[in-house]
A and B are shown apart, each in its own frame.
Chain A
């Protein structure tokens, strides 16, 4: 018991206790992703400077998740809001939190252009392969053959394209000051390491940081616990390889 307690300490200090238990469905991946962020905020001692922007979609439910300044935005528009805040006050540590629909569909132009401009912001994107809040429609990340509300016979890539490889795209267009990684809520320590790197990259003033986390949605996948983990671990990783895709070059000056 003692060991388990150590590995699962009390909720992060930066979490807002008044909004717990949180509003996500049982088995949802958001809680794990946000726990990683919460612990990173604690470890870096940046709660006072952090601004958490959340998109529309299930990520919206995190609007009072943290004991840090938070702002709801519109679907797809979280990146420009936090980029605008960062440009106006560079002291802030800004995080844009969104799902795959917000980041890769309706807000894709903002992701692409913020990345190209090397905005000093951190974007965290939960990829659960569906539009979850609206009832499980096809998302840009839906796997070929995957059944969703709008692909009842399974996604046909001929008709609707291949799943969006977000981090690969962002890595391809960013400068060597950017940090880009894909983790999974199934591997918490590694995901947390990526989130920390992403925030540290912003703290160091190097540039754009982007972490996608593969995340489960048992409600819309209609899966039980075992099937959920299996889909996340075995199916999704076939299309979405895990790991750091771009690690910023650190100048000699910065190393000293």
Chain B
């Protein structure tokens, strides 16, 4: 098989193209897909690249089929993945719940678009809750929320590795902006950076071993036992994979909280506000599930106020409130713009309304 990256190389491309290259570098064997904007170019680039590297692709009749075929591919022992968005993400929850019950390590890429219904093909962060908690029952999954093209590449590698190590369905949650915008990143072979690719093991077709895989149970206790085991393993995984970034003042008057592409605006706002003399902190969950609860509690406990910024009407905010319940008295405000992009300037304006007058704050803390 051809080497994918002979050496590390800079590239300037769209997020969808990054995913195709990253999946290739992660050792993905086959993609199953169904067209929906704004993830289509993942399929376009993958189908251009895949035959050159002996990888497979199947376009199915709908998202249900794409999702379930992905499960078949994974059970056959291949690194299989799928991509979708919006209404497709809704249909995809059915196969995802089967992956949760049967611990099938499939990888999904979600490029959020506006909702509900068909809404826009452009952008939102409105699929955060669906991607973290969709499906019937309380399925267990791993969700990464990326902010830059470099992260799309890095976390795609991580998603495949962690999916196969821990055997929970794993997500890279992006959005229409990340899908369509172009920026630079470094492409690399993970093994040259000392990251070994996780090996795979088939659930079907192993010589000398007959396996019966079930997702249906006859009695309550049987299910409870299985779920308890999964939960214990998920909690163990959570401790190992949970990721976040925290920056800015350690005892801020205002803590900005955002995930994904919006955190680029909040990071820039945090920097500019601090340059103006305000005491501002910044917290960004990178894994949305598991949510970095302890880390958030720690910084929130030292914050006077919290401002959650998201292109949705309170999906991240409810995760934040949930995490902080009983641990922090800081009021949680929202800059909530469902389906709309957010600029650093907007964050700064909102923050300045909440922040005490400049100079006063510093005196207060010294």
Interface residue ranges, A against B (CB under 8 Å): 16, 48-49, 51, 53, 56, 60, 63-64, 67-74, 76-77, 79-89, 91-92, 109-110, 112-113
A77:B214 contact, CB within 8 angstroms:
no
| Interface segment, one of B18-26, B75-83, B124-132 | B75-83
Q: List 29 A-B contacts (CB under 8 A).
A: A49-B205, A53-B72, A64-B214, A69-B203, A69-B212, A70-B211, A70-B213, A71-B102, A72-B214, A74-B68, A77-B65, A77-B94, A79-B65, A80-B69, A81-B68, A81-B69, A81-B71, A82-B72, A84-B69, A84-B76, A86-B72, A86-B76, A87-B72, A88-B77, A89-B202, A89-B205, A109-B61, A109-B65, A110-B64
Say if the beta carbon of B329 comes within 8 Å of chain A.
Answer: no
B76:A88 contact, CB within 8 angstroms:
yes
Q: A88-B29, A89-B76 are in contact. Are A68 and B210 (CB under 8 A)?
A: yes
Apart from A77-B68, A80-B67, what are 18 other A-B pairs with CB-CB below 8 Å?
A: A49-B205, A72-B216, A73-B215, A74-B68, A74-B98, A74-B215, A77-B65, A80-B66, A80-B72, A82-B72, A84-B76, A87-B73, A88-B77, A88-B80, A89-B77, A89-B78, A89-B202, A109-B61
Q: Which residue of A lies closest to B207 (CB)?
A: A48
Say if the beta carbon of B15 comes within 8 Å of chain A.
Answer: no
Number of A-B residue pairs at CB separation under 8 A: 128
A56, A68, A71: the one contacting B75 at CB < 8 Å is: A71
Query: B30, B32, B65: which has the most chain A beta carbons within 10 Å?
Result: B65
B205 — which chain A residues lie within 8 A by C-beta? 49, 51, 69, 85, 89, 91-92
Q: Which residue of A lies closest to B94 (CB)?
A: A74
B210 — which chain A residues lie within 8 A by C-beta? 16, 67-69
Give the shortest distance, in Å, between B359 (CB) and chain A (any CB).
Answer: 62
The range of chain B's interface size is 35 or more
Query: A16, A81, A92, A109: which has the most chain B beta carbons within 10 Å?
Result: A81
Query: A63, A74, A92: which has the most chain B beta carbons within 10 Å?
Result: A74
A84:B216 contact, CB within 8 angstroms:
no
A56 — which chain B residues lie within 8 A by C-beta? 216
Q: Which applies to chain B's interface (DSSP): helix, strand, loop or mixed? A: mixed
Say if the beta carbon of B58 comes within 8 Å of chain A.
Answer: yes
B216 — which chain A residues lie within 8 A by C-beta? 56, 60, 63, 72
Interface residue ranges, B against A (CB under 8 Å): 29-30, 32, 56, 58, 60-62, 64-78, 80, 94-95, 98, 102, 202-208, 210-216
A63:B212 contact, CB within 8 angstroms:
yes
A88:B212 contact, CB within 8 angstroms:
no
A112 — which chain B residues lie within 8 A by C-beta? 61
B208 — which chain A residues lie within 8 A by C-beta? 48
B95 — which chain A residues lie within 8 A by C-beta? 74, 77
Give the CA-CA distance A77 to B215 in the complex, in Å.
13
A53 — which chain B residues lie within 8 A by C-beta? 72
B74 — which chain A residues lie within 8 A by C-beta? 88
B69 — which chain A residues lie within 8 A by C-beta? 80-81, 83-84, 87
A81 — which chain B residues lie within 8 A by C-beta? 68-69, 71-72, 75
B211 — which chain A residues lie within 8 A by C-beta? 69-70
Q: A88-B72, A89-B77 are in contact. Are A72 and B215 (CB under 8 A)?
A: yes
Give the CA-CA distance A81 to B80 in the complex, in Å.
12
Query: B95, B102, B208: which has the most chain A beta carbons within 10 Å?
Result: B95
B76:A109 contact, CB within 8 angstroms:
no
A83 — which chain B residues lie within 8 A by C-beta? 58, 69, 72
A80 — which chain B residues lie within 8 A by C-beta? 60, 64-69, 72
Q: A69-B205, A70-B211, A89-B76 are in contact. Are A84 and B94 (CB under 8 A)?
A: no
A67 — which chain B residues lie within 8 A by C-beta? 210
Give the shortest distance, in Å, between B315 (CB) and chain A (any CB).
Answer: 27
B204:A71 contact, CB within 8 angstroms:
yes
Give the shortest distance, in Å, between B234 (CB) and chain A (any CB).
Answer: 21
A69 — which chain B residues lie within 8 A by C-beta? 203-206, 210-213
B77 — which chain A residues lie within 8 A by C-beta? 88-89
